[in-house]
Structure formats: C-alpha cells, structure tokens
Amino acid sequence: MDFRFTEEQLMIQDVARRISREKIAPSAEHHDHTGEFPLENIRTLGENGLMGIEVPAEYGGAGMDPISYVLAMVEIAAADCAHSTIVSVNNSLFCNGILKFGSEEQKQKYVRAIAEGKEIGAFALTEPQSGSDATAMRCKAVRQDDGSFVVNGKKSWITSGPVAKYIVLFAMTDADKGAKGITAFLVDTTKPGFHRGKTEPKLGIRASATCEIEFQDYVVGAEDVLGEEGQGFKIAMGVLDAGRIGIASQAIGVARAAYEATLDYVKERKAFGKPIGAFQMTQAKIADMKCKLDASLLLTLRAAWLKGQDQKFTTEASVAKLTASEAAMWITHQAVQIHGGMGYSKEMALERYFRDAKITEIYEGTSEIQRLVIARNETGLR
C-alpha cells in the first residue's frame, strides 16, 4: 500500500492551497458577514481548474482523479467552508452526473461552462416536504406529444440556487412507479417558467447562496433529459455517493483549520504559570482531535481511491462522510471550549468554523441516513 501522492496530485493541492491563502481566507470574514456570493473567487478557482477537477480536459476541466479532488477540497474548506460548498456542488453534484449519464451534446453544453468557472451549477432534489425521503417528491414533469416535458413544482434548499445558470433537476414523471418514476433533467434558469425564492438566512456557510426554486409550466426539451426516463433516482443516489466524498473532505478542512488554530493557542495561552497545552486535560483533547482528523482523512482517501478505480464505494463514502462530519463537529466544539471566551467571539474565525461544521452532518445525507446506508449494506436487511 503506497500512501504517497503523485506529483500531479500534490500540484493541484498546492494550487488550491495558494488560492485559498491568498484569495479566500482574507475575504472569508467579509463574505460570512454579508452573505455575499464570492463570484470573483469562484472565477479564480475555475480558471485554475478547481471547479471541474475530475472533468476531462475536452470538457474544460483539469482531468484529475478523486484523490486530487479530496486534497483540493480540504485546502479550500480550511480557508472557508462556504467556498468549498460551491466547489463541491459544481464538481460532485452537477458535473459528475452529467459526465456519467449525459450525451456528448449535454457534456459540451452544460459541463464546460461550469468546469471553467464561467457559470454556476446546482442540484435540485430536496423539496419542502421531502428531505431524506427523496422519493416523496411532488415536483412533476408531464410528457408532451412532441417528447418534451412540462415541469411544475418546488424545490428547496438549493445550494447556489440564487446564482446558478444550469441545474440538474429531479422530477416525478410516473408517480405510480415510485422511485422508478423519477427522471433527471437539465435546466437552463434563463428560460420562462423558472422562478427563484428568497435567499435562505443560514447559521453557517453563509456565502454559499441557498434558496427555494419553483417551476411553473417550465418546458424541458427531450434533448435535456439526463440519462433515460425513470432513471433519475439511480442517478441521484450515484451522484450523492460521490458528493459524500466531497462533504467528508469539506469536514476535514474545517476541522483541520480549527485544530491548527487550537495548537497555536495552547502553546501561547498561559494559566497558572504555564501554557495551557501543558495540562493533561488539554493534551487529551489535542490527542483526540488529532486521531479523529487523521482517521477522517484516511477513510475519505479510501473512498476516493475506490471511486478512482471504478469500484463500488457507496459504503465507504458513507463511512467517510459520517466519520468526518461528526469529527468536524466534535473538533470545532472542543476548539471553542479550549479557547474559552475568545472562542465564542466573532473576532476569531473559530466561531465561524463551529457554525460551518454543523452543516456537514446534515446535507447530502444526514448522519442518521449514513448510518442506515452503512448498516443496510453490511447486513443486507431493509
């Protein structure tokens, strides 16, 4: 087993680290405070291949592997979780499904602009009444005589929804078939019948714009059906498997940032005549942080490696996402506790890390759903 990274993997990690330190980190507090979408930074990431890391060069991407994606995501998330959310959606949820199931025309039309960072993509699965139960969707697409579909319904919690040019949409085309009646579509938000709701005021990842979207007699041509009719649920679940690697990477990044800030603090902060890092209780917390952080990274790299080898990675992605997200929440919690009052102050980035970490336990499958996925795959019981 070789734990060394290739030169190409280290190169893209270095590019992500440089942009994160020079552009993202200095502006993170501003974007968190205002909720302003970081379009300029996203453009820079796109120009450097980071909005389409696994996208082949012929479609405008960097043509790298899943390991490269993990390494880049960790660096971006360590600077600002909101930026990494936008990167994750573009890479994992938008481009990934189209590359796997889309036609050549769809790849050229929809993937290139997103991979190059010229446009923003989104993924529309969740609805107001259906979160974890994705099959309970009410958004409907009705086939017309000419092969097109008319879409009506709402989707909620759409990351990048307020700014997205293109969206991968999932709608019910045959309710009698349940999960097998769901179809995936490619949506251009500039066409009539598409409407955006208000931007959601969130606890964390505030620069990652999120909103509800609505379709009113929106017409999708037959050429914009992704995959085959009725294949939507399969596409969504496959995309989410890959997406969970991205969220695990994001969790590692924000946890690492909190851990590194804490390491510096316990060496400098003194109490009772010595650095607080010399006290056994503090040392125990540091040791546990380090173990959880390393375990999360190795589990995530395992899932990414399996994906890169075209092997099944559903369970491994869920294990990585569950472990990393809960580690991020625990590490940021302990980091705030160690910092005391300063950890609770908005004068430090630590409280932002704490707020941002929470979402990793929720989106792209809650921790509860990850446990179901893992246990069902292990036991074979439903």
CB atoms within 10 A of CB 80: 32
List all residues 6 or more positions away from 88 whose beta carbon is below 8 Å from its beta carbon. Answer: 73, 243, 246, 247, 249, 250
Could you give the CA distance from residue 266 to residue 263 in angstroms, rounded to a whole number?
Answer: 6
* Residue of 54, 119, 364, 368 with catalytic role: 364
* Residue of 83, 85, 63 whose CA lies nearest to 21: 83
Could you give the CA distance from residue 231 to residue 180 in angstroms, rounded to a whole number?
Answer: 7
**Could you confirm whether 58 is annotated as catalytic?**
no
Helices and strands in the chain: count of H runs, count of E runs? 13, 10
DSSP calls for 288-357: HHHHHHHHHHHHHHHHHHHHHTT---HHHHHHHHHHHHHHHHHHHHHHHHHHGGGGGSTTSTHHHHHHHH
Residue 98 near residue 40, CB atoms below 8 Å? no
- Rg (Cα) of the chain, in Å, rounded? 21
* Residue of 381, 276, 382 whose CA lies nearest to 339: 276
Residue 194 near residue 151, CB atoms below 8 Å? no
Could you give the CA distance from residue 316 to residue 74 in angstroms, rounded to a whole number?
Answer: 18
Phi, psi of 169 (to 5 degrees): -110, 140
Could you give the CA distance from residue 262 to residue 268 in angstroms, rounded to a whole number?
Answer: 10
Q: 148: which 2 tokens?
A: 């097109």
**Catalytic residue numbers?**
364
